[in-house]
Structure 1
Amino acid sequence: MLEAERKQIIIDKLMKKKSIKVNELVEYFGVAKSTIRRDLDSLEASGVLKRTHGGAVLNENSIPATSYNEKEDPYIEEKKLIAKKAASLVKDNDVVCLNSSTVTILIAKEITAKNVTIVTNNLDVAIYISQKEGIDLVVTGGNFIHKHNSMEGPATVTQFSENRYNIAFIGTNGIDSKFGVCTYTSLEAESKKIIIKNSKKTFIVCEHTKFDNFGFKKVASLDEIDGIITDYKINKEILEKYSEKTDIIIASPDNAE
C-alpha cells in the first residue's frame, strides 16, 4: 500500500472515531510502529490531527461544522465580504457551480443576477437558492455527508461532469504556494477537480487564514485556477507571494459589492 493511501485511511478512521492508537494502526496495516509514527507526524504537520501519547486525535478545527451557524463563525464578517465580491462576478444567464463550503453558502444569499442556473452539491446552498425567483437550481445526487450537509461520491462527480459552467466558486481547507489548493478527503477532492475542469472560470473563495495551510489531498495547482477571492486582512508578504502564482482578489468593506 502506498503512503498516500495509508494516510487517507488514517484520516477516514479519525473522522469516524475522533481518536486512534498507534498499535491499532500497526495491526490494521501490518507495518512497523516507526512507519505509523512517521505518518502521524506528517499528518500533524498538515494540521489534520494532533499527536497524543500512543496515538492521535482529530484536529476538529480542520473539519467544517455539522451545520453552518453564522453567529458562531469567528470569520463571518470576512466571509460575507468575500461572498459579496464573488456574487458580483456572476452575470445574467450564467451557469454557476457552487461547491460545498461555508463561503459558497453565503454566496448563494448574495447572487442577484437574473436567469442564472446554479448547480450545487450543498443542501444549504440549495435552500437559499430555492427562495430566489428567476434562478434554476440543480442539486447533485450522491452519498449524503451529514457533517457537511452535502452530497459527495462517484454519483456526485458524474453529475458535475455532465455540465459546463461559466463560473465556479470552490471552498478550500488550505492553500499552499507550492502544493496548491488542498482538502482533507478524496471525496471532496474528486468533485472539486471535475468542477475546475468543466468551468470557464474558477475562483477559490476563502478567508485569509487558509493561506499557507497544507491539506492532505491536492485539488489543483494555483495555475489551474483563475484566482482566489479573499479578505483584506491577508498578510502583505503572503499576498505578494501568492500574487506571483495566481490573481488575488481582495474583498474589503469598500469594494465588496
Structure 2
Amino acid sequence: MTLNIVDRHQLILKKLEENGYVNVNELSQDFNVSVVTIRKDLKLLEERKLLFRSHGKAVPANPYIKEHHVNIKEKIHPQEKNRIAKAAAASLAPYDSIIIASGTSVIEFARHISATTEDLTVLTASLNTALILSENTNIDVMQLGGIVRKSSSSVIGPTAEKMLSEFTFTKLFLGVDGIDLEFGLTTTNSMEASLNKEMIKAAQKIIVLADSSKFGRKGFGKICGLDEVDQIITDNNIDKKTKERLTELGIDVTIV
C-alpha cells in the first residue's frame, strides 16, 4: 500500500530521530516513490523547521555554525567543559611539552592544569590561556605571535605558523567548532583552521576537547579528517552511534 504524505512525513521524522540523518535515495526505495517526491517532502519539512536539507540527505538541524565571541561561548555548556577540562589535565605527564590551541574548552583546560605538573612546557595561540598559565612558576609558557583574532582572543596567521615549524611537542589539545563523521574537524575561521593544521604537524598526539553539542556540526574552515585524531574527550550526552563510529575509526573516546 502506498503511503500518503502525512504517513511519509511521520516516518521520515522517526527515521531522522533514530539515525541522526535520512538519505533521499534510501527513502525513495523504502517508500516506493520517486526521488522528486522525497525531495518535495523534505522541502516541506524544512519549511516547517523540522529538519535541514544537505546534499542528498537531511539532518535534524542546521549543522553550520555561526561565529560567536569567546565571552559568549564560555557560557555555553560550562559544566560539560569543566569535566572535560579536568580529564584533559589529568592526562598530562611529567616533562610533557604541549600545544594548547584556542577556544573556550582549552581555556577551561588551562585553569585545571596543576602548578605541580613537573617540567611542563606549553605553547599556545590563546592569549587568555597564556595569562592563566603565566601565574604558575612551574610551567614554561610560550605565546605564539601573529595577528590577533579578537573574537577568540587568540593569534592566527603566517608568523604563528612559521614559529610552530621550529618545534616538536608531545601533545596537542585542540578545541573545535564542529565534528562531522564524514567531513572531520572544523572551525568557523579559515586562518585558524590553517594554524590548527600546522599544530597537528608539530604534535605527536592529537587530543580534541569538545562537548557533545559539537558533533554533527560544521564550521567554515576544515582542520583535518578524523583519521588524524588520537583521542576525543567529551561529555556523556554523546550519541551512542557516534561514539561507536569514532571507536571504529580507532579514536580513543573518553566520556566524562
TM-score (norm 1): 0.71
TM alignment of 1:1-257, pairs within 5 A:
46-48=63-65, 62-67=66-71, 70=74, 73-112=75-114, 113-252=117-256
Contact 1:143 1:153 (C-alpha < 8 Å) held by counterparts: yes
Paired AA for residue 131 in structure 2:
I
Q: Could you say if the C-alpha distance between residues 81 and 151 of structure 1 is closer, same or farther in structure 2, counting changes exceeding 3 Å? A: same
Q: Secondary structure at the match of 2:219?
A: coil
Q: Which amino acid aligns with 1:90?
A: L
8 Å CA contact 1:121, 1:150 repeated in 2: yes
Question: CA shift at 1:228, angstroms?
Answer: 1.0
In 1, the alpha carbon distance for the partners of 2:212 and 2:250 equals 15
Equivalent AA in structure 1 for residue 176 of structure 2? T
**Residue segments in structure 2 that go unaligned for 5+ positions in a row:** 1-52, 55-60
Counterpart secondary structure, 1:189:
helix
- Hey, what's the Cα distance between the residues in 2 that align with 1:205 and 1:189? 16
CA separation in 2, counterparts of 1:250 and 1:189?
24
Q: Is the 8 A contact 1:67 1:149 kept in 2?
A: no
Q: How many residues align?
A: 197
* Structure 1 alignment gaps of length 5 or more: 1-40, 49-61, 253-257
Q: Aligned equivalents of 1:246 and 1:83: distance in 2?
A: 22
The two structures, once aligned, show a CA RMSD in angstroms of: 2.1
Conserved 8 A contact 2:70-2:104: no
Question: What are the superposed Cα offsets for residues 80-103 of structure 1, whole Å, 9 maximum, x if unpaired?
Answer: 111111111111111110000101
SS of residue matched to 1:67: helix
State the identity %. Answer: 31
More divergent stretch after superposition (156-165 vs 201-210): 156-165
Q: CA–CA distance in 2 between the matches of 1:135 and 1:89?
A: 16
Shift of 1:111: 1.4
Measured in 2, the distance between the counterparts of 1:250 and 1:232 equals: 9
Aligned partners of 1:45, 1:74: CA distance in 2, in Å?
18
- Report the CA distance shift for 1:155/1:119 in structure 2 as closer, same or farther (over 3 A): same
